[in-house]
Chains A and B, each alone.
Chain A
Amino acid sequence: MDDNSGKDLTAADSSSVGHEGAPAGTAVVVRDAVANPGFPPHRPRVTDLNPSAERRAERTVYTLFYLSIVGSVFAIVAYMVFPIIPEEPDSVRLNNLFIGLGLTLALLAIGIGAVHWGKALMFDHEGVDERHPVRGSDETRERAVEIFHEANVESGIGRRTLIRNSLIGALIAFPLPAVVLFRGLGPQDTNPAALLEHTMWKKGTRLAIDPTGTPIKASDVTLGSAFHVIPEGLQDLGHGKLEEKAKAAVLLMRLKPEDINEPADKKDWSYDGIVAYSKICTHVGCPVALYEQQTHTLLCPCHQSQFDVTNQCEVIFGPAKRPLPQLPITVDSEGYLIAQSDFTEPVGPSFWERN
């Protein structure tokens, strides 16, 4: 539909440009264009004019190839002379360094030698190839069309429409079972959204230090300190430890109780200025591991979302939207910090079914 205009502009000139007189579109075809002056005169190289330069180049090339052999041998020797000695990190460094340098010499010397040979010694007159249009010749194209036509007639694919259509249907249908097979990538009879709703925390689960699993006493949490926390018992999980940890990781901080701004319904979620928040960023799930003690801000090192600990861990900067979920805590009879319940909302990154 657009070819029209292109032809209009350059109709008169289209035969003089390009291959096969293809339309030049909006290209300006200059009648009095400067003429191509043809190839400049050939300039001989030093090695063409000076026999001693030529001999020097030859010497350089074969010396490089011999050097390459030296490099290869050096690498083999280095493999034996610099073994890796268990528990000696330096031996790894030397092994890596000397095998590597030997191989470097072996490779670079071949490469530089070959390129130098090509540039300095090989015949250096440029050649010229003719180009031909990429499209097949009219004759070839006619024959191709004819072949398809013959195939059509001989097979009857155009005529026997029932065969054709049922074949197309069959070809579309046969890969579908493969799609179904991929359901097996995840465990059967499991609703993924439901898995994300809960963590390992339960009423009475003690807060323990990550990674040792030692329970934390409220009296150990001094003002201004922060603890990386896991639920007690996580370490003893045989299977699915990391999956649970990826949801249950918590940061524990103690602030001055008057610094904390708590809504009425969450008044009893902290204990004496000790607050616990999910450590999993509500953006895409990195651990929000950096606590700025002076400003009471949590920072996610992945995408720099910042959360205000004094204000329910609301987002104060960055791409995250939701505050970090708070874990309601209290102390048990022995003075250990325990969870009052699980998180009251899903932790970690947002997902479609979350509401």
Chain B
Amino acid sequence: MSTATTTTELVETKKSGGLTGAAANYIDERTSISTAVKELGRKIFPDHWSFLLGEVALYSFVIILLSGSFLTFFFSASMTPVEYDGSYMPLKGVEMSAAMASSLDISFDIRGGLLMRQVHHWAALLFVAAIGLHMLRIYFTGAFRKPRELNWVIGFVLFILAMAEGFTGYSLPDDLLSGNGLRIIDGMVKGMPLVGTWISFLLFGGEFPGEAIVGRLYSLHILLLPAIIVALIAMHLLFVVVHKHTQYPGAGRTNQNVVGYPVLPVYAAKAGGFFFIVFGIVMLMASLFTINPIWNYGPYDPSPVSAGTQPDWYIGFADGALRLIPPGLEFVWLDRTWSFNILIPLVTLGLFILVVLIYPFIEAWVTGDKREHHILDRPRNAPTRTAIGAAGVTFYAVLWATASSDIIATHFKVTMEGVIHTMQFLAIVGPFIAFFVTKRICLALQKKDREIVLHGYESGRIVRLPGGEYIEVHQPVDEYERWKLVSYNDYKPLMIRPNSQGKITVGQKARAGMSRWFFEDRIEPVSSTELERSHSDHH
């Protein structure tokens, strides 16, 4: 309880604030919200377009929650067969599951229902895409370095969960396309050694397709997965506040400060406004462009399938991996079936995911750098990391493109076999080419930066000297521009040294090998001595 004096003071402030003040006082006395405002209200956030990618992801998730809640009021997650009796003529009288029928009702009998379905689906596609791009931004700028390694892991788990949400949601209408997707999942699960048959049996509540799967996926889709996602997003954002946001190198910016606009008012206006822009664009897409026209596919039936079927974009890489497997990789051994045509893609994707997940720890181990890093790297200034990223992107892109191998074949009038063989080649060789090319480009760009710092820009102005000699005038960069080009982290390959017992451990050797691979080719940043020397050359 407050003393008499403080009470009078509060009463006085209340008077001056009028109704707003009274309300604020009421809330503060019950929540201590003024502390939060004091701490966060003027918190600084740096500006850059690439920082918006994470915001797009967050906002599309909010849009998904809003539109999804609307859909739950009408959707019936049941596979009980019913005879369709809605407004869509071509399917009238057709037997289908209640899930499919209610999805059609949302589309054709509820005003704005189709709009909300399309908002939901477009936002979901955007959600995964935005997370993916956000992750690429984090990766290529080195934002995952200490102290943000754990937030990278949380973000990556969110990416996986987003795909799980996508797949479970996409399967709910029980239409022909999504049913075939489930059929593929069933086939993959059955291909797993030892437990596969049982997992499939339990998942589908008996034999495929059964009458249980839609209801089960629905529980995951609207309850369990969103709850985990919300919790992880909260942690993810909490860490952003704790770490304070990274910033790109720039004059005046250091590892010890953060430069940008305060939450109140500029950041609130811009970020808040951006939510409405993202929502508006999703709404525009939902009004103009059809997505997932289940009425064209019809209800699920295990017998028909249409050519050119494809999953939603983010599942493509897994489907592509299945297509790339050469024939004949299935054996009976010890009286059991070993389906390597399923296992190889599963294990490959699992390893790929694992490497991405633990990459921050690998790099931290290689550099041995225990400092906090709040200034982002320009991708060129970490050539090996950037090249590894390019290799990973290439591998993913090849798998992804392979999910459309049949459509590539029909559109470009080439053979299906030719496309697959090309993709098989690219999946293995492509990442190496991408690595090599990217690394060379990075090093070349670093050299160009040095050139610009030491000798200035080529101005295109040709001057004839009194002696008749022609030179091109080089325009020096100003010191602020120059700072961006010279302020980066530079690492040397690790020298192997014996430890305190005078031994060189295997770990040491491995680390030295990795370190050499990372940092053997390096371009040093320009030092002030070099800079002075070059100035005296020019003047």
- Mask for A297-323, Cβ within 8 A of B = 1, else 0? 000011111000000000111111110
Which residues of chain A are within 8 angstroms of B535 by Cβ–Cβ distance?
Answer: none
Residue of B nearest to A185 (CB): B202
- Of the residues A40, A118, A127, A285, contact of B269 by C-beta under 8 Å: A118
Decide: A286 near B184, CB < 8 A? Known: A249-B302, A304-B405, A350-B191.
yes
Residue B186 lies at the interface, judged by CB distance under 8 Å to chain A: yes
Contact assessment for A26 and B327 in the assembled complex, using a CB-CB cutoff below 8 Å: no
Which residues of chain B are within 8 angstroms of A86 by Cβ–Cβ distance?
Answer: 87, 109
- Of the residues A39, A192, A305, contact of B252 by C-beta under 8 Å: A39
Expressed in whole angstroms, the Cα–Cα distance for A126 and B206 within the complex equals 62
- Of the residues B183, B205, B273, contact of A110 by C-beta under 8 Å: B273
Decide: A187 near B206, CB < 8 A? Known: A26-B494, A104-B284, A304-B420.
yes
Contact assessment for A186 and B258 in the assembled complex, using a CB-CB cutoff below 8 Å: no
- Mask for B488-528, Cβ within 8 A of A = 1, else 0? 01111111110110000101100100010001000011111
Contact assessment for B287 and A100 in the assembled complex, using a CB-CB cutoff below 8 Å: yes
Residue B24 lies at the interface, judged by CB distance under 8 Å to chain A: no
- Of the residues A104, A186, A230, contact of B283 by C-beta under 8 Å: A104
Residue B378 lies at the interface, judged by CB distance under 8 Å to chain A: no
- Mask for A240-274, Cβ within 8 A of B = 1, else 0? 11110111010000000000000000000000000
Residue A99 lies at the interface, judged by CB distance under 8 Å to chain B: yes
Residue B328 lies at the interface, judged by CB distance under 8 Å to chain A: yes
Contact assessment for A26 and B303 in the assembled complex, using a CB-CB cutoff below 8 Å: no
Which residues of chain A are within 8 angstroms of B483 by Cβ–Cβ distance?
Answer: 34, 36-37
Q: Which stretch, A44-52, A128-136, A148-156, A332-340, touches the partner chain B?
A: A128-136
- Of the residues A23, A26, A286, A355, contact of B332 by C-beta under 8 Å: A355
Which residues of chain A are within 8 angstroms of B64 by Cβ–Cβ distance?
Answer: none
Q: Which stretch, A4-12, A159-167, A213-221, touches the partner chain B?
A: A4-12
Contact assessment for B187 and A349 in the assembled complex, using a CB-CB cutoff below 8 Å: yes
- Of the residues B209, B254, B330, B337, contact of A243 by C-beta under 8 Å: B209
Contact assessment for A318 and B370 in the assembled complex, using a CB-CB cutoff below 8 Å: no
Residue B314 lies at the interface, judged by CB distance under 8 Å to chain A: no
Residue A352 lies at the interface, judged by CB distance under 8 Å to chain B: yes
Which residues of chain B are within 8 angstroms of A168 by Cβ–Cβ distance?
Answer: none
Which residues of chain B are within 8 angstroms of A111 by Cβ–Cβ distance?
Answer: 273-280
Decide: A104 near B287, CB < 8 A? Known: A19-B371, A26-B493, A131-B257.
yes
Decide: A89 near B111, CB < 8 A? Known: A131-B257, A287-B304.
no
CB proximity of B136 to chain A, nearest CB, Å:
24
Residue A232 lies at the interface, judged by CB distance under 8 Å to chain B: no
Which residues of chain A are within 8 angstroms of B324 by Cβ–Cβ distance?
Answer: 319
- Of the residues B43, B367, B505, contact of A129 by C-beta under 8 Å: B43
Decide: A40 near B528, CB < 8 A? Known: A95-B112, A287-B305, A317-B327.
no
Residue B37 lies at the interface, judged by CB distance under 8 Å to chain A: no
Which residues of chain B are within 8 angstroms of A1 by Cβ–Cβ distance?
Answer: 499, 505, 507-508
Residue B309 lies at the interface, judged by CB distance under 8 Å to chain A: yes
* CB-contacts of A43-74 with B (<8 A): none
Expressed in whole angstroms, the Cα–Cα distance for A348 and B209 within the complex equals 13
Expressed in whole angstroms, the Cα–Cα distance for A193 and B243 within the complex equals 53
Residue B5 lies at the interface, judged by CB distance under 8 Å to chain A: no
- Mask for B37-60, Cβ within 8 A of A = 1, else 0? 000001110000000000000000
Which residues of chain A are within 8 angstroms of B208 by Cβ–Cβ distance?
Answer: 243, 246, 285
Residue A146 lies at the interface, judged by CB distance under 8 Å to chain B: no
Residue B17 lies at the interface, judged by CB distance under 8 Å to chain A: no
Q: Which stretch, B193-201, B228-236, B457-465, touches the partner chain A?
A: B193-201
Decide: A301 near B306, CB < 8 A? Known: A25-B368, A27-B489, A89-B88.
yes
CB proximity of A1 to chain B, nearest CB, Å:
6
Residue B19 lies at the interface, judged by CB distance under 8 Å to chain A: no
CB proximity of B289 to chain A, nearest CB, Å:
10
* CB-contacts of A190-226 with B (<8 A): 190, 192-193, 195-196, 210-211
Residue A3 lies at the interface, judged by CB distance under 8 Å to chain B: yes
Expressed in whole angstroms, the Cα–Cα distance for A185 and B213 within the complex equals 10
Contact assessment for B284 and A319 in the assembled complex, using a CB-CB cutoff below 8 Å: no
CB proximity of B13 to chain A, nearest CB, Å:
25
CB-CB nearest 7 A-B residue pairs: A100-B287, A284-B187, A25-B368, A114-B273, A18-B371, A111-B276, A118-B269
Interface residues of A (CB under 8 A from B): 1-6, 8-9, 17-19, 22-28, 30, 32-40, 79, 83-84, 86-87, 89, 92, 95-97, 99-101, 103-119, 122-124, 126-131, 133-134, 182-183, 185-187, 190, 192-193, 195-196, 210-211, 228, 230, 240-243, 245-247, 249, 279-281, 283-287, 289-290, 301-305, 315-322, 348-355
Q: A2-B507, A34-B483, A286-B180 are in contact. List 16 more A-B contacts (CB 8 A).
A: A25-B367, A25-B370, A26-B368, A28-B524, A40-B251, A92-B87, A100-B115, A100-B284, A107-B277, A187-B206, A286-B184, A316-B327, A319-B324, A348-B187, A349-B191, A351-B190
15 residue pairs from A and B, CB less than 8 Å apart: A6-B494, A9-B494, A18-B372, A34-B482, A34-B528, A87-B87, A111-B275, A134-B242, A192-B201, A241-B81, A284-B184, A287-B302, A319-B324, A349-B187, A350-B190
